[in-house]
Amino acid sequence: MKRLYESFYDDNIEQVKSGPLLIAGVKSRREVGISQRFRSLGQHVVIAEPFAANVTKARDLHHHAMVMHCAVQDVPDLSRFRTVVWLQGPEHVHMDVAKAFFREAMLTADLIVLEMPHGFHPQGADGGNPYEVHVSSWFPKDFDDMGTGWRISCSHDGKPKADPNSNNNRHLLAVWSR
């Protein structure tokens, strides 16, 4: 069974094909699959990662992508990206910073895919990475002031859940498309 965040490929293939991809943060092989899939569609892939040790790993794993050593909100010329993917990342910045980034991306992107924990899940500097600390909590209602076009889903262990307001959800997926 596909993980919930993987469904955005097939559901939004026309937007995915529209231009360059920005992946915010990279820590696992999950992002390798995403970047390779986009690259196979002929898209230019850029990864923004603020933690130096992860930048080194990302450059080894993502030989087909450009890896920038910066936080996603500091990516220069955000308007060049048609698709923005930020999985398990928005909880690592303050909500006002994340929302300002989303709003800026919405000006020119065709597709934004976000995944984060549903609610508050405390986490410290995992592996000595200070960017891993959870500093914000996300619920479906947090997208109410973000305009139209957002589709919100929740999951538990990668399986969709019918009620996004249930306390039994572990992950929140937010997809915005033009």
Contact 160, 1 (CB under 8 A): no
Of 30, 9, 24, 41, whose CA–CA distance to 105 is shortest?
24
Mean pLDDT of 84-101: 94
Closest Cα partner for 22 from 56, 62, 54?
A: 62
pLDDT digit string, tens, across residues 147-174: 888 988 877 655 555 555 555 558 888 9
Give the domains, in start order, of the chain with CATH numbers: 4-177 (3.40.50.150)
Residue range 141-154, pLDDT digits in tens: 999 999 888 988 87
SS3 readout for 69-129: ECCHHHCCCHHHCCEEEEECCHHHCCHHHHHHHHHHHHCCCCEEEEEEEEECCCCCCHHHC
Check residues 11 and 1 and name the one with the higher pLDDT. Answer: 11
pLDDT, tens digit, 9 for 90 and up, residues 16-66: 666 788 989 886 666 667 777 777 777 888 999 999 998 988 888 877 788
pLDDT at 127: 85
Assess contact for 172 and 139: CB atoms under 8 A.
yes
**pLDDT on residue 40:** 77
